[in-house]
Amino acid sequence: MFDFSFSELLVVAVVALIVIGPQRLPKVARTAGHLLGRLQRYVADVKSDINREIELEELRRLRAEMDAAARSVEATARSLEVSARQHMGEIQEAFDDVKHEAAQPLSSSGNADVPAVASDETPGAALQQPRADHPATAVPPTQSQPGSHAASAGSADLQIAASGKSSTS
């Protein structure tokens, strides 16, 4: 802090000895030591207060950055939520459209390959009945031969099941 050489300190000590005197010099030196210690503690306290304030300012800046990042993440999450809800709505609309189209009679769609469903039948009943003109659903020849007992009994069972009545009643 101050630049004193040893010779300068020796001159100050000799002058203090002459001015103060040999009897009071130890008491003055002790008091000067206490004051110097207090001064050092005060300087150390000021330094620690300054360091604490610097750290506090850094923490405030860091907190502000974290708050900004949190707001950014929240905004992103909200936009993702809105986007997800929008896509879910579109998916629900498409699902409802497909469900509505499936519930409509197939003859109104203009598809000639698919048979029309009668109004008293359920939409899935026409799909369960075999078609002779379509290879994937064609009935094997052993069952579809005219006059075959198995074919007539099977068609009778289908007619009874479709009407909801049993042959015993």
Question: C-alpha 154: how far from its chain's center?
Answer: 57
Question: Do residues 127 and 120 touch, judged by C-beta distance below 8 A?
Answer: no
Q: What is the pLDDT of residue 17?
A: 86
Q: What is the pLDDT of residue 12?
A: 87
Domain hosting residue 70, numbered range: 17-103
* 22 within domain boundaries: yes
- Count Cβ atoms within 10 A of the Cβ of residue 144 and give its class: 0-12 exposed, 13-18 middle, 19 or more buried: middle
Q: What is the model's pTM?
A: 0.39
Sign of CA pseudo-dihedral 83, 88, 91, 93: negative
**Into how many domains does the chain fold?**
1
* pLDDT tens-digit series, residues 11-24: 988 898 888 888 99
C-alpha–C-alpha distance, residues 91 and 88, integer Å = 5
* 27 within domain boundaries: yes
* 76 within domain boundaries: yes
* pLDDT tens-digit series, residues 94-153: 999 999 888 886 555 555 555 554 445 555 544 555 555 555 555 555 544 455 444 444
C-alpha–C-alpha distance, residues 157 and 161, integer Å = 6
